[in-house]
Amino acid sequence: MKTRLSLVLSLALLPAAARADEGMWMPQQIPQLAERLKAMGFRGDPQAFADLTGQPMGAIVSLGGCSASFVSPDGLIVTNHHCVQGALQFNSTPQKNLMEDGFLASARDQELTAGPGSRVYVTSSVKEVTDEIIGKIDAKLSDRARHDVIERRLKERTAACEKDGLRCRVASFFDGLKYFELAQMEIQDVRLVYAPAEGIGNFGGETDNWQWPRHTGDWSFYRAYVSPAGKSVPFAKENVPFKPKHWLKVAPEGAGPGDLVFVAGYPGRTQRFATYAQTVELAEWAFPRTVRRNTELIALLDEVGKTSKETEIRVATRKRGLSNTLTNRKGVVEGFKRGNLLAMKESMEKNLAAWIAADPRRQKTYGDVLPALDAVQAEKAKTRDRDATLMDLLGNGSSLLPAAHTLYELSLERPKKDLDREAEYQERNWSRIREAQDRLQRSYDPLADRALLRYILGEASQLPAGQRIEPLDRETGLTSGMSETDAGRKIDALLDRLFAGTKLSDKAERLALLDKSTAEILATKDPMIALAVALDPLWQANRERTKTRDGAYERLGARYAQAILEKSGGLTAPDANGTLRVTYGRILGVPARDGLIYSPQTTLAGVAEKATGKGEFNAPKKQLDAIAAMKAGKKTPYADPRLGNVPVNFLSTVDTTGGNSGSATLNAKGELCGLLFDGTFDTVASDYLYDAVRTRSIHVDSRYMLWTMSEVDGATNLLKEIGEAPSLDVMAPGR
């Protein structure tokens, strides 16, 4: 298997016209792209990208959901504004709402903790461990037994890697065809340094989200702190700034149309290797369900948020996350319809099946894969409504019921040997579980939590016969076919009992229960815990079924991916999976639709034109004054002479997805010329089937960041720290 894949990965590139700029590449693949990059004008050393502890890759970090990068020798980190919303919310009060006003620490002792659970991950090594994970597995094992073997090996490998105090992950690539071990330093003391006001950092709000033209100042700064001995420790007054080995120079000249740019970060997940059946479920069930639910949940939170300023702050981050996902999923659904992507996906799969059938060797190697994958998918679909609703109940749909379930499950897992525990409850995650329960207090609101739980219970009440959550029906008296009115009365009675009797809204109570035995937790007779306990058997049964399915996917997926790779005959990037990737492209506009062309840059002029002084377009007065002063003749080193203005955002052809938020956009010299923060609405379906012509990503220009820091927010301390003290003479046109 390993030899065959190496052969596939070493073949020549596909024709450039067919490939466009597709590919979230593993850094170690970049040297194989040398000829392609050279043809695009790159004169650097592609090998530099493969050195994850060198420059520039050693400066790229993960925040555990967003990407970021070091920009000073004192641990200063730049990322997106929307990536620090949790920290802003954690430090906000009705009297001082940082989510609206922004924040700037003029000295290091003014920097604020980002809150429990905040992390910075600095990569120290990546190595292939395919043979260690899937080597010498008996082909006769059942799917469940196969999964158990792989899961055990993953846990053992992770534990061995973490003996040196690192945070490690063994990740699957090409649907289980390859495995790589990633070792990272996990920095626990993360502090908020600077975030512009909402009227800059989220200018345009949901109206402009995923849209172009865009005028959003989506940047903010953190700082990483460690102990005086350089060790990763929780927040402490005596901690000192982390000293990274590498950091990026911020390019004061930014980047312009036609320039080659790279994006380095941690994209979350794409599913371009998904089968047609899997893609149909996403397009016709999962995403429409998300669109409906998020629309209704946002409206619900809007109403709850009107009750008080405190509630509005507590629900803001959840509402923004729902809104971002809603817009994305709408774009994907529309993209599937408009681009006829399902038909294209079906055609591609039929071509693959015909290619397999045309050769006896291929038929023997791959012939059973597609039918078997479709059978697994069909079995999963039988209870998808029930299973998704149960996940909402005990996952993250509300706050207290999932907290109760976490406490109960942890008590069941704690007595086991660590390698026998479910992965999420291994000892390596106990501190994270505690931090999550601690941080929950800053976003918990009883009115909002009751409203969210009522919504999910309402969904459960309408499940069809055959997909009922039977333990819930027994607890509430709900039945299939019951009217919404009657179901609502029973749900309200349950909620009255839950919220009147639970003590889990108290942080100290929750944290104390983290260390209790199952018997002690049951002895509390807390009604929220009692409901979680009643639902747990179905949760456990679903987990067992999932493990069996995963064993099938692990057996079939690798061969499916191998067939695709062999048929393509070219170097191919694996699907994004939350690991470090590099993508490249040019700053370039795009024909948006008939008669309309998107130019690749926007400027401060657009900010002034859009500013209404209200809502999503409430640009700060000091920013508008600075724009007016520049228009009146005040010079700035950050103006682009070709535009006659300061660039704000730009489009490029780089291939990105969620998780890339905050990724460093690098020029050909490896300098930070911007930050990736979004994609365009009409091409978000590229996560599932890449659009080689229209796909664009949206970046904030480094010049807008520097101009705002200089002319609007007075962040002179940070400008000096990143080495930016420009001279108008040096930065004059023609530099």
Nearest of 65, 96, 98, 92 to residue 79 by alpha carbon? 65
Q: What is the SS3 assignment for 86? A: helix
Place of tokens 């790779």: 565
Are 671 and 249 within 8 A, CB to CB? yes
Are 385 and 467 within 8 A, CB to CB? yes
What CA–CA distance (Å, rounded) separates 538 from 535? 6
What CA–CA distance (Å, rounded) separates 512 from 509? 5
What CA–CA distance (Å, rounded) separates 175 from 195? 38
Place of tokens 């749909």: 397
What CA–CA distance (Å, rounded) separates 151 from 145? 10
Q: Strands 601-603 and 596-598: what pairing?
A: unpaired
Burial code (b: 16+ CB inside 10 Å, e: under 16) for 350-363 equals eebbeebeeeeeee
Show which residues are catalytic: 82, 218, 661
Q: Strands 103-104 and 76-79: what pairing?
A: unpaired
Residues forming a β-bridge with 79: 220
Calculate ∠ Cα 123-127-131, nearest 5°: 150
- Chain centroid to CA 639: 33
| Span between the terminal Cα atoms of the chain, in Å | 53
Q: What is the Cα gyration radius of the chain?
A: 26
Q: How far is CA 489 from CA 156, 458, 473, 482, 493, in A?
A: 50, 10, 14, 11, 6
DSSP 592-614: EETTEEE-SEEEHHHHHHH--SS
What CA–CA distance (Å, rounded) separates 643 from 650? 13
Calculate ∠ Cα 595-600-604, nearest 5°: 110
What CA–CA distance (Å, rounded) separates 94 from 111? 20
* Helix residue ranges, H only, 524-638: 527-568, 604-610, 621-631
Burial (CB < 10 A; 0-12, 13-18, 19+), residue 591, is exposed
Are 356 and 434 within 8 A, CB to CB? no
Are 388 and 289 within 8 A, CB to CB? yes
DSSP state of 654: -
Residue 360: both structure tokens together: 């006896």
Cβ contacts of 127 within 8 Å, gap of 6 or more: 180, 181
Residue 250: both structure tokens together: 């911020």
DSSP state of 640: B
At position 528, the amino acid (one-letter code) is M
Cβ contacts of 518 within 8 Å, gap of 6 or more: 408, 411, 412
Q: How big is the chain, counted in residues?
A: 735
What CA–CA distance (Å, rounded) separates 115 from 436? 10
